[in-house]
């Protein structure tokens, strides 16, 4: 198992903390977000860790990681950052955003999933969002699950809470077959199409996942309840990390 950490973004909503450093280096409880992630992943036995850098790349150095760079970070989005490390999308791969902090139990549950493509989904998301903003519906995204926990749709702007059965956290796990499926699917996408209103280089990760689902590939949810935190704006830095509850 290896992991790819996506750390190329500018983190404009976290300014001034990101004026001179990547978002993942912003401290949470006196430790950089990236170091929370590295500690949990290494604690779960993940040794090969690929760090995809972009904004303030020289400021982000972590011993024992493989360095990749999305040099076009300012004009592209997270999917482009992921495929800047395409050579490492091979075998079993964990893909992680780097503006999230999660407890070891969540990662252990994710690693135990045997599906080819899986994402963590917080069923108790609303409790966290209510700490982060007055109206959780303004920032949340739709997510619909099937009877067996398969993801049917995700990533759209909701009009009601009924459209949100959970929140995608920013953790993806691929089996060896899943890595092959993802790369083949990505290579087959039309570069001239628009994806949820974005051109190909600026495609959201949720748009890529939805396109996989629409093409008939199963994306399985790994349900959790709490135990994680997204740090997207300064107020998030003051929210305590909630306990993990099995779903």
Structural fold of domain 2-241: Spore Coat Polysaccharide Biosynthesis Protein SpsA; Chain A (3.90.550)
Q: Is the dihedral of CA 226, 6, 64, 62 positive or negative?
A: negative
Name 168's bridge partners: 121
DSSP H or E stretch at residue 101: strand 100-102
Bridge-based pairing of strands 48-53 and 2-7 is: parallel
Phi, psi (degrees; rounded to nearest 5) at 183: -65, -45
Terminal alpha carbon distance of the chain: 24
SS3 38: helix
Q: What is the pLDDT of residue 14?
A: 87
Q: What is the DSSP string of 154-199?
A: E-SPPSSGGGBS-EEEEEEEE-HHHHHHHHHHHHHS-TTSEETTEE
What token pair was written down for 140? Answer: 């949340």
> What is the pTM assigned to this prediction?
0.94
- Whole-angstrom Cα distance, residue 133 to residue 142? 17
- Whole-angstrom Cα distance, residue 213 to residue 116? 13
Q: What is the pLDDT of residue 149?
A: 95
Buried b (16+ CB within 10 A) or exposed e, 16-40: ebbeebbbbbbebeeebbbebbbeb
Buried b (16+ CB within 10 A) or exposed e, 57-67: beebebeebee
Domain ranges of the chain: 2-241
Name 158's bridge partners: none
pLDDT in tens, the chain (247 residues): 999 999 998 888 889 988 989 999 999 999 999 999 999 999 999 999 999 999 999 999 999 999 999 999 999 999 999 999 999 999 999 999 999 999 999 999 999 999 999 999 999 999 999 988 888 888 889 999 999 999 999 999 999 999 999 999 999 999 999 999 999 999 999 999 999 999 999 999 999 999 999 999 999 999 999 999 999 989 899 999 999 887 7
Could you tell me which of 107, 105, 104, 103 has the C-alpha nearest to residue 95?
Answer: 107
């Amino acid at each position: 198992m290896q992991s790819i950490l996506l750390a190329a973004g500018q983190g404009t909503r976290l300014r001034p903390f990101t004026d001179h450093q990547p978002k993942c280096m912003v401290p949470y409880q006196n430790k950089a977000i990236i170091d929370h992630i590295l500690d949990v992943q290494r604690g779960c036995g993940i040794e090969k860790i690929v760090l995809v850098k972009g904004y303030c790349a020289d400021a982000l150095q972590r011993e024992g990681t493989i360095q990749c760079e999305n040099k076009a970070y300012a004009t592209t989005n997270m999917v482009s950052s992921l495929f800047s490390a395409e050579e490492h999308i091979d075998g079993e791969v964990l893909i992680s955003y780097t503006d999230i902090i999660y407890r070891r139990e969540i990662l252990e549950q994710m690693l135990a999933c045997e599906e080819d493509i899986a994402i963590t989904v917080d069923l108790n998301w609303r409790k966290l969002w209510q700490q982060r903003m007055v109206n959780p519906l303004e920032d949340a995204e739709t997510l619909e699950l099937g009877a067996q926990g398969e993801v049917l749709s995700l990533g759209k702007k909701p009009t009601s809470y009924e459209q949100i059965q959970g929140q995608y956290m920013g953790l993806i796990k691929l089996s060896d077959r899943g890595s092959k499926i993802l790369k083949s699917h990505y290579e087959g996408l039309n570069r001239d199409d628009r994806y949820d209103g974005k051109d190909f280089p600026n495609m959201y990760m949720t748009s890529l996942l939805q396109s996989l689902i629409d093409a008939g590939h199963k994306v399985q949810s790994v349900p959790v309840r709490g135990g994680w935190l997204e740090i997207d704006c300064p107020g998030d830095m003051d929210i305590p990390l909630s306990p993990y509850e099995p779903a």
